[in-house]
Amino acid sequence: MTISFHEPYKAGQALDYIKHVIESGKTSGDGNYTYKCQSLLKKRLNAHHVLMTTSCTHAMEMALHLIGLQEEDEVIMPSYTFPSTANSVLLQKGKVVFTEVSRDDCCMDVSRIEEKITPKTKAIMVVHYGGNACDMDTIMGIARQHNLYVIEDAAQGFLSTYKGRALGTIGHFGCYSFHETKNISAGEGGALAINTLAPDVIKRAEYIRQKGTNRQDYCLGEVDFYQWVDIGSSFCPSDILMAYLYAQLEQADVIQALRSKVFNAYQKLLEEIHSDKIAHYATGNAFGESNAHIFYIIFKKPTYATFFIEHLKEKGIPAYTHFVPLHASQMGQSLGYQPDDFKLEIALHQQLVRLPLYPGMTEATQHHIKTAVREVLDALDHREDMPDDINRYSCI
């Protein structure tokens, strides 16, 4: 049996919608399906305003432009995240300031944020790992106290909530990913939620998104021609991609139900096994609804994780670790960080393992994976520790 780690959902209407776009002759940005997606997302998220973008990365770049990030302004973010979070700051000559995450949910440790704040701090970029919500009440309180912006990197957070509110709609801006690997996909794509009532912010966002022009004003009949009015870039996705995405968004509840079924089955399995080699595993979003984006197991030692991955591979099942912490990466070290600076994040890289999870997973595939996980963990529990199990980063 060949098992995939991830398979994107195939929405039934996608081909029909894409055909509509091609036949319309309007395949560039801001077409009919772009506006359909924006309208649906605005309603679904209960967001003030939503703009579709070419990626979550570009949504973060837009947000940083909108807060007026200047050279050497500091932005606090977790080290345990994807490079896009940091790149969006560095591209605007800002300074990245890494902070710690909590072990159990891999989200920002709110107790460590204030010690990172300096007179140069401009914003906090929170990352909702695997659909787990950060402690937004505490983070927003810190931001208000220090007059900081909050940008939510909700690349993995779409359809998860925090106390009834959609992730990405609590901070000043929220950034979403619709990459192929996400729960809801455009292949490549993203969105920016603008959580402010200020019309000038929305208008400027539209200028930045449309290459620094007031093309949107022209399309609305507000000006006779459009021109260069601000800095900007090409952040508008093709309407072909938006047609594909719209078909997925229409099926969001179905997709989520299927993912949750797999997630819950894994959780039940781990509850039954009680392996003493496991420190923690995904239990869902502590603050609200979970989108079941990732099911992870955190092992007590790196060699346990390696044993688990290798023996699942022998059974035809892919399982992977996750982020190389940004502070310990080649680029992070060029910024002056050292691997020892954040030991928990290094341990997570070595000891966190993700299992296959996608909405189209068959009952037979689920059974095969669960049987294999049980067998491998049983073998691991009966394995005697070796000297190389000791790791100086293992603080979990």
CA distance 112 to 116: 7
Query: Assign residue 148 a region: left if phi > 0, alpha if psi is -120 to 50, beta otherwise?
Result: beta
CA distance 252 to 162: 18
- Residue partners of 196: CB distance under 8 A and separation at least 6: 48, 172, 202
Beta-ladder partners of 213: 228
Question: Looking up tokens 């009532």, which residue turns up?
Answer: 197
The catalytic residue among 36, 122, 182, 277 is: 182
In the residue annotation, 261 being an active-site residue is answered as no
- Structure token pair of residue 70: 């200047």
Burial zone of 339 (CB within 10 Å; 0-12 exposed, 13-18 middle, 19+ buried): middle
- Pick from 303, 294, 301, 300: nearest CA to 323: 294
CA distance 100 to 79: 7
The per-residue b/e assignment along 101-128, b for 16 or more CB within 10 angstroms, e otherwise, is: bbbebbbbbbeebeeebeeebbbbbbbb
What is the signed CA dihedral for 344, 345, 351, 354, rounded to 10 degrees? 140
Residues in the chain: 396
- Pick from 326, 291, 288: nearest CA to 100: 326
**According to DSSP H, which parts of the chain are helical?**
14-24, 32-45, 56-66, 83-90, 136-146, 199-209, 215-219, 239-250, 252-273, 302-314, 330-334, 343-351, 363-381
Q: How many C-beta atoms surround the C-beta of residue 164 within 10 A?
A: 9
Cβ atoms of 174 and 152 within 8 Å: the answer is yes
Q: Which residues are identified as catalytic?
A: 182
